[in-house]
Amino acid sequence: MKIFSPFVANGVYYPNWRIYRNEPPSSLKLGLISHVFYSFAWVKLDGTVYLSDEWADSQIDVDGTKGCLRSFQNLKAKHSHLKVVLSIGGGGKGSDNFAAVAANPASRERFAHTARELVNEYGLDGIDIDWEHPSDHKQGHNYIALLAAIRQHLPSPHYVLTSALPAGEWALRNIDLCNAHQYLDYINLMTYDFSGPWVPQSGHHAQLFSPRHPHNEAARLSADSAVSYVTSKSVPPSKILLGIPAYGRSFLGCHNPGQKYSGSAGEEGTFEYKDLPRPGAIEYTDENLGAAWCVGGDGGWVSYDNPATVKIKAGYARNNRLGGVFFWTGTADGEGSRSLVEASFSRLHTQ
């Protein structure tokens, strides 16, 4: 029997579209998971929160019931430690209406009211705000006003309220984090995507620490630098969840970080973690940086996390008294000794 510490989170995001890949809620390692962030619900311009895919969320036959949300409701009865949180927003369309909604008291109120209706209808434990992201100080102010409105309808401690936030200071500086955390149980710090097709050189996309001699500005970013920035704003470490990607970023034609790659600017090159290392590739781990990669096969140089780096990151979370970790996504995890969720659980809960 797995024993959960009430003070350490081992969370995963579950994207509703994964049901179309034959990955139902029951496929997650729920005995090792404390929080599932069910993504995504969306918000209309008038503030109404609604399900982004009603077929997947409430109608499809899955796990002996109708819809993934009902499945999670039933699974919670079997896993008493589990909290299921409805994540609202996401990239692109999912975040398009947040700025307008948060700027208006009436739409903030409708957001909070309709979010609570969904939480109660499906027996959920709370909501996660994944607004990507407030782009100036005014939006940052309105973001906090939205959190305050939500807390009126979803009071602590009965309901969970979390928020996924970027790891870069360029985004975080728009938010008064000291004020924001008063309303939040956790800040899900997205400590990944430091490097990718938007930069001209290969680089680790989720390193725990920066190298001594960074080859570009992206290489200066790290999970540690993000955590340090957030805690410098008087956010308690216990409210920070360290984000870990269950996917790798590929840089074709490269063998090391800091090299120009053959992909086109803006071209996504990703592999799910469970498909790594690539066939014919060799996997490496840098325990000083807290980063892994593989070279060879069809991916070129691929940056990702493996069980060794996840244990390092989970150890960092423990040593720095963070709230725990989360994964984007739980559905991309490996099996057996290659499981990232298992690796983090074992490190987080080892005495």
Residues annotated as catalytic (active site), given as ranges = 132
Rounded to the nearest angstrom, the gap between the alpha carbon of residue 221 and the centroid of all alpha carbons in its chain is 17
Tokens linked to 44: 């209309």
Q: Are 348 and 6 in contact (CB under 8 A)?
A: no
Q: Which residue has the tokens 């969840």?
A: 241
Q: Where are the alpha helices (DSSP H) in 205-349?
A: 217-220, 223-232, 307-319, 340-348
- CA dist 113 and 103 (Å) reads 16
- CA dist 344 and 290 (Å) reads 14
Which residues does residue 186 pair with via DSSP β-bridges, in sequence order?
A: 162
- CA dist 73 and 77 (Å) reads 7
Phi, psi at residue 187, to the nearest 5°? Answer: -105, 115
Category of 177 on φ-ψ map: left (φ > 0), alpha (ψ -120 to 50) or beta: alpha
